[in-house]
Amino acid sequence: MTTLLLIGRAHPRFREKLSDGFELLELPDSRPESITPDMAAKVEGVTTFNDMTPALIDALPNLKIVANFGVGYDGVDAAYAAGKGVIVTNTPDVLDEEVADTTIGLLLNTLRQLPRAEAYLREGRWLRDGAFPLSPLTLRGRHIGMYGMGRIGQQIARRLEGFNVRISYHTRSPRADVPYEYHATLKDLAAAVDTLICIVPKTPETRWTVNAEILSALGPDGVMINVGRGWTVHEDDLADALARKAIAGAGLDVFEAEPCLPEALTAFDNVSLLPHVASASVATRNAMADLVADNLISWFGAGRPITPVPETPFRG
């Protein structure tokens, strides 16, 4: 019987779907030192929550497949896995709409200060102090710049079309299949729009790309929303731009050192913060867990993964 190692949190759906056909071992942390000789001898497939280092791959000499829970797999060294002939899979598509829905919620929360308005009501201040102050910002008349126009970016843009706002985007290559205005650089995009939505992966090229220069190009009416990875935004530059009123607001679901975040960001009324919940509904997380399990079932049963990442394409 094939042995799988469930690394980190073992989603209940992993056990439900995999316990019939596989021997399941569990490892609560991702440290290579925690691998026992029994695991090293037997494990052929793993599930991971985006934490698979070269040392951990090396500690499992019979490893054939790493099934990541999450579309972003920046914590899995996929190039190293490819060099060792190990397939890596992720969970694209099944979370696109949920993440896009949450992005729209975060955008509206940031512009219209809805979490603050609700807190005001719950604190009894409506009765005591009168109406909640008018929101200085609105979605009306905004020009949205999408930094990223992949699976999730396109779902965000589709939703924004319904809000009757102008949409532009920047990616490395223009897409023939979207109707939005393309900008060849992030700086050009930031200068052209007043609202930037970041939905790019964590790669060496995207680090701190949203920095002081981009925020000042966005301008004093500018609002920046990040749902990709915290690594893309220079958080000190962002706090500084907010303090100087160089931009008008920000909404963040992800942080560079999450779950820690710069104290400074929590002090602004014009900032809306979420604890990395864009895909976090029971239904969507179940769909992601099912895809993790189905990749393993398909690999060991039919000899092919369902959603391999580009670094480890399936070559039949």
Among 4, 65, 87, 95, binds ligand 8YV (CB under 6 A): 95
CB 293 within 8 A of CB 13: yes
Which residues are CB-contacts of 307 (< 8 A; sequence separation ≥ 6)?
Answer: 89, 90, 91, 92, 93, 291, 295
Minimum CB distance to ligand 8YV, residue 131 (Å): 37
The interface partner of residue 140, options being ligand 8YV, ligand NAP, none and the CB cut-off 5 to 8 Å by kind, is: none
Residue 258 among the catalytic residues:
yes
69 lines the binding site for ligand 8YV (CB under 6 A): yes
45 lines the binding site for ligand 8YV (CB under 6 A): no
Q: Which of 229, 234, 256, 285 is catalytic?
A: 229
Minimum CB distance to ligand 8YV, residue 259 (Å): 12
Nearer to ligand 8YV, 180 or 255 (CB): 255
72 lines the binding site for ligand 8YV (CB under 6 A): yes
Nearer to ligand 8YV, 174 or 201 (CB): 201
Take residue 201 and report the two structure tokens written for it.
């992966």
Q: How far apart are CA 67 and CA 282, in angstroms?
A: 20
Minimum CB distance to ligand 8YV, residue 229 (Å): 8
Place of tokens 């700086």: 187
| Closest residue by beta carbon to ligand NAP | 150
| List of residues contacting ligand NAP (CB under 6 A) | 71-72, 92, 95, 99, 148-153, 170-173, 199-203, 205-206, 227-229, 253-254, 276, 278-279
